[in-house]
A and B are shown apart, each in its own frame.
Chain A
Amino acid sequence: MKRRDFIKDMAVGSLLMKFHPSLLAQKKISPDLAWIQGDSPVLITREALSSLGGIKRFVSRGDVVVVKPNIGWDRPPKLAACTNPEVVKTLVELCFDAGAKEVKVMDNPCNPARRTYVRSGISAAAKEAGAKVLFPNPHRLKKMALNGEWLKEWEVYTDFVEADKIINVPIAKTHSLSRLTMGMKNWLGALGGNRNQLHQKIDQAMIDLAAFFKPCLTVLDCYRILIRNGPQGGRASDTKLCKTVVAGVDYVAVDAAGTTFFDLRPQELPYLQVAHQKGFGEIDLEKLIIEKRTL
């Protein structure tokens, strides 16, 4: 799908929503968030997707899908610096179940990609499920108009723009600037250029990026989260086992839900506040329909 088409569809969609909210109401109401806890990362991911109405709601036959985990650091899964490989693998499998033509898994990491892809376990897991695991390719970078308040344009890997569907699969971690890094911050991994300069106004950067990337689904990996020394940790004691995934279409709501694992309220994170004010999504967990289950 071209970006233009996407925007057009979005426009038509939102108009319909505005004037014919009944269109949605006619279907079976899916929850805003699926919040599933359990011992197996595979099963909780599958359960989260079926709670949301099944993968076919998000991925259509013949789609090219990009799954965007956080593969930022040369750290093994037990240190919770990168997305859980089982969660990523399960999502790839589900995409293929829905008839996806191709599933790409990629990130632009902080340590060398050849190392982070391996040590995170994501490369092996995603390949096993049939995904193409791609190293970020500078030839595929393109300066794009983000038209954000601060980020007017930036270099983006075209894989993320050309894909029919994007699924964002962040892991929940602490971060000394944005306090937490989850779904919205994960988009820094889709960029090239001097990303380290984005930290000068990180919250604004996250808002601008969130307005640009259009994930059809966000699955927040909270199986093992990083509660200290983020965003790369280093010791097992920096992590906490929560055995949960939170999934939803409203990526702001997903991040908002993520804050609770760190004993924070969504309102305490400035970027979530702004995202909510701008109408990107809901941060008041009370107002959301949440399907919370333990397997």
Chain B
Amino acid sequence: MKKERSKKYRVIQAARILIQSIFFILFFYLLLVTHYPGEDYIGHVEIFFHFDPLLAIATLIASRAFFVSFALAALTIVLTFILGRVACGWVCPLGSIHQFFSFIFKKSKLLKPQKNGDNRTAWKYYLLLFILVGTLFSLDLVGIFDPLSLLYRSFAASILPAINHGFSAFIGVLYQINTSSLADSLFQFFENLAVNSIFRQGFFLGVLFIGILLLNLSRERYWCRYLCPLGALLGLISRWNVMKLKIDPQKCIDCWLCTIHCQTQARPYPEEDWKSSECIYCYTCSAICPTSAVSFPIKSTPEEIVRVDLSRRKLIFTSLLGIAAIPFFRLSPSTRRASPKLIRPPGALPEKKFLQKCIKCGECMKVCPTNGLQPALAEAGPEGIWTPILVSKIGYCEYYCSLCSQVCPTGAIQELTIEEKTKIKIGLAWVNKNTCIPYILGTPCIVCEEHCPTSPKAIKLVKTEVKLPDGTIKTPVAPVINTDLCIGCGICETKCPVVDEPAIYITSVGESRSETNQLLLDLIKGGEELF
């Protein structure tokens, strides 16, 4: 008997790696070009998300509204229905990263693949159930766990910024060793990539992401195998799996290699153990088999799909846990009183609707030209973690920009034209007269007024009497806000020369999206006043 690895499957394996790389590069490319493109309107850089059925289903249930772009997810569903979880093995960029690190860890003997399986594969199904139970009650946690959201958020708000800092330091070194023309071109190149490199939770998100990568030290593709709720969903959708594992008993030498190196614990050997809903069709088993015994012939007859054993008791328990968890997410005070620092990007839906739709992917934070959009920590309650808020101390909302609304994959930020955007209030500016330079020192400043983008300006300079410590009186011009004109863009706060705690700041009151978070009771909008 000939002892040889299958050439055919090794070619298929190589093709798979190539296609994975292509999709990863595409994902990364779309991430990199998500910045101001030199025009007001950017293309569909967020398209990856629309192929994700988990996001589609979860936001559909949570918001009770269908977002048209998610129709693309039907393609993934059909593909999975017929072919099984090929999307996990061939397309998913997070899967590719996990596989890459698993490979490195295996090669460096840090990860010792094991023959024995375990039933932790069930975790991801319970997690999926937990998420979906939440969406029934409009609690949308999908963005925290969805692999594309997780990857994009981690890259946009942590990995890429860290790389950017690294390159910046490198350019600095180049200047020191006097290769300034190279350094100049490199600087201009990186400036054009416009990577936002300041993120309040950058460190935390980075630690989380690297932690998830390090899980691969314990099991190959740990995330995909045990945790990924999208993988679980696709496993449930897979029905036909036209390529069915077959082990030729004549050739098989019972070496277990296929099962040991199976990326996701689908357990190709023994054949009757093969769990087709866990298989991601990476063809590692058939390519690694020393006797070419493992193959995937096409059998169009539907057979019983072998799934992970899920205990009914645990499923019921998880559902109950999911339901029990919901009220705990509602304890946040933000439901009683609007949070002043909860300043949402222009076009954001009213808060309740927004939370039902936002998948915390970070597209808006990546595209923001001023780096002002930041992941929330506690401002929006526990379910709002990593949703975007404008932190004007870091960056402001650019007047002629609606990019965040264009790249939002779920419509949590409604798409706006520039024209529409300039009319939206996201908050209001307030002057802290206790620290504002003219009010406290009697000297001129006007920086906020100068930067105010509306016409006429929302910040007026008014002559004000100021008493100085020695009792003398000065009358400098000092800023006074016209709340009708102010759109809350926050440039005044960003540029305020009081460096530590800006003397002018934005709060969310007055935001167009809210009916209740308003300063004045304006029942007849634009109507004439009777008294």
Contact = CB atoms under 8 A, between A and B. Distances in A.
Contacts of B499: 194
Nearest to A158: B180
A176 B450 contact: yes
Interface string B355-397: 0000000000000011000000000000000000000000000
B447 A196 contact: yes
The bracket for how many chain A residues form the interface is 20 to 34
Contact of B455 (A176, A202, A238): A238
A234 B450 contact: no
Nearest to B175: A139
Contacts, number: 89
B443 interface: yes
B457 interface: yes
B444 A139 contact: no
Given A114-B192, A176-B461, A139 B183 contact: yes
Contacts of B188: 134-135, 137
A276 B162 CA distance: 51
B443 A114 contact: no
A265 B140 CA distance: 64
Contact of B446 (A112, A199, A232): A199
B374 to A, nearest CB: 17
Interface residues of B, number: 39
A292 interface: no
Contacts of B398: 74, 111-112, 115
29 contacts: A74-B398, A75-B400, A110-B450, A110-B495, A113-B191, A114-B191, A115-B36, A115-B369, A115-B400, A118-B38, A135-B188, A139-B175, A139-B183, A140-B184, A177-B444, A177-B446, A194-B499, A199-B445, A200-B437, A200-B445, A200-B497, A202-B444, A228-B456, A229-B457, A231-B450, A232-B453, A233-B455, A234-B453, A234-B454
A151 to B, nearest CB: 15
Q: Is the interface of B mostly helix, strand, loop or mixed?
A: loop
Interface string A133-171: 011010110000000000000000000000000000000
A235 interface: yes
A143 to B, nearest CB: 15
B194 interface: yes
Interface of A: 74-75, 110-115, 118-119, 134-135, 137, 139-140, 175-177, 194, 196-197, 199-202, 228-229, 231-235, 238
Q: Is the interface of A mostly helix, strand, loop or mixed?
A: loop
B431 interface: no
Given A196-B497, A229-B456, A139 B171 contact: yes
Contact of B400 (A119, A135, A200): A119
B38 to A, nearest CB: 5
A178 to B, nearest CB: 10
User: A-B pairs with the 4 shortest C-beta distances?
Assistant: A234-B455, A196-B497, A196-B447, A135-B191
Nearest to A133: B188
Given A114-B191, A114-B194, A134-B188, A229 B444 contact: no
B369 A112 contact: yes
B117 interface: no
Given A74-B400, A199-B445, A235 B187 contact: no
B246 to A, nearest CB: 56
A177 B455 contact: no
A227 B451 CA distance: 16
